[in-house]
Structure 1
């Protein structure tokens, strides 16, 4: 269970404080699929970064199974991210000098996992890139690069997967393929999936949609399975 309690984030700018998030309180149960929606500047990506432990809130708390990550030391935060968080970025964030296989190997080697090479290769095969293991990012299409990023995010079997506009740089058909892949892996690994999106169709494929506006929760609704779009084969 992820619990956000009275979460506030302010930044200094132009001689005054800018409020990015304003008294956000919510709970996200384990294994739930959640979309964070809202207009640009509403605080979506900031909220994701706080849950990831990449930033610290100005006020309030973020707890995971009772542990307050907003009060952790940097060394403990690094362990929290390593052991609990997978992250997918809109712009892929692959290391350009490493092959697809080597990019997926990075978190496995940092975690000291046995059989890292086989695990990385299996993950890339599971996302349809068995013929691209030794290709560099520049040799891959945008969709293929995002598939590498998806494989990397699941490498250490994180209980929480955070995705910041994962289809934002892709055409609609490729974006749908990536979403089908994410949903399939979410079911396979039983992760909590929290996804930032502007796309209503993608939001509708989640179990819950939280809409932010001006740093506050405007709405928080569960989506009936009857209203979710059917998934295409990945």
Structure 2
């Protein structure tokens, strides 16, 4: 369960204060699939980053499984993220000097997994890139890089998978492939999946759609049924 209460995020500069999020409150149960939508500048990516603990809010509370993360010490928060959260960035964020398999192995090695490389190879096989494991990011297409990023995000089998515009830099074919991978991870592992998207077709695949406007909740469509059952019927 993710519980967010009265979340505020403000940025200051040039003598002005910009309110990016203004009093967001919501709960996301385990295993739910959620799309966060809204116009550019509405606070979508900021909200996702705060849930991931990548930034600290100005005010408010974020609890994951009953644990408050907003005031958690940085070293403890880093460990918590490795155990609980996988994050897929729009721009991939692969380490350019590491091969595909080495990129996927990084979170496993940080977690002290003994067979990190073997598990990373199995994950690349699962996303259809077993034959590209020794290639560097520059040698991979955008779709292949994003599949590596998905494998890396899921390497430690986190209960929460967050994706910020995961198909935004991809063509329609690769975008669909990446989306199917994310849904398969959700379905097979019971992962809570939360994604930010501008694409209505992707949002429609989620069990819940949260719309933001000007940093506030504009709507919350929770009447879409059980996402696990929906995906099994597709």
Provide the TM-score with structure 1 as the length reference. 0.95
> Does 1:75 pair with 2:78?
no
- Deviation (angstroms), 1:226: 10
- Deviation (angstroms), 1:79: 1.1
How far, CA to CA, are the matches of 2:217 and 2:67 in structure 1?
23
Equivalent position of 1:23 in the other structure = 23
- Deviation (angstroms), 1:67: 1.0
Q: Is the 8 A contact 1:204 1:223 kept in 2?
A: no
Structure 2 gap ranges (5+): none
- Deviation (angstroms), 1:148: 0.3
- Deviation (angstroms), 1:229: 9.1
The 1:151–1:111 alpha-carbon spacing in structure 2 relative to 1, beyond 3 Å, is same
Q: Is the 8 A contact 1:206 1:223 kept in 2?
A: no
> Does 1:216 pair with 2:233?
no
Structure 1 gap ranges (5+): none
Q: Is the 8 A contact 1:209 1:223 kept in 2?
A: no
The 1:186–1:229 alpha-carbon spacing in structure 2 relative to 1, beyond 3 Å, is closer
The ranges of structure 1 where at least 4 consecutive aligned residues each deviate by more than 6 angstroms after the TM superposition are: 226-231
Q: Is the 8 A contact 2:143 2:170 kept in 1?
A: yes
SS of structure 2 residue aligned to 1:185: helix
Root mean square deviation of aligned Cα:
2.0
Equivalent position of 2:106 in the other structure = 106
> Does 1:178 pair with 2:178?
yes
> Does 1:57 pair with 2:57?
yes
- Deviation (angstroms), 1:230: 7.6
Q: Is the 8 A contact 1:5 1:61 kept in 2?
A: yes
SS of structure 2 residue aligned to 1:70: coil
Equivalent position of 1:37 in the other structure = 37
Equivalent position of 1:96 in the other structure = 96
How far, CA to CA, are the matches of 1:66 and 1:142 in structure 2?
37
Provide the TM-score with structure 2 as the length reference. 0.95
Alignment of 1:71-220 (within 5 A): 71-220=71-220
Q: Is the 8 A contact 2:4 2:61 kept in 1?
A: yes
The 1:182–1:117 alpha-carbon spacing in structure 2 relative to 1, beyond 3 Å, is same
How far, CA to CA, are the matches of 1:69 and 1:85 in structure 2?
12
How far, CA to CA, are the matches of 1:154 and 1:226 in structure 2?
23
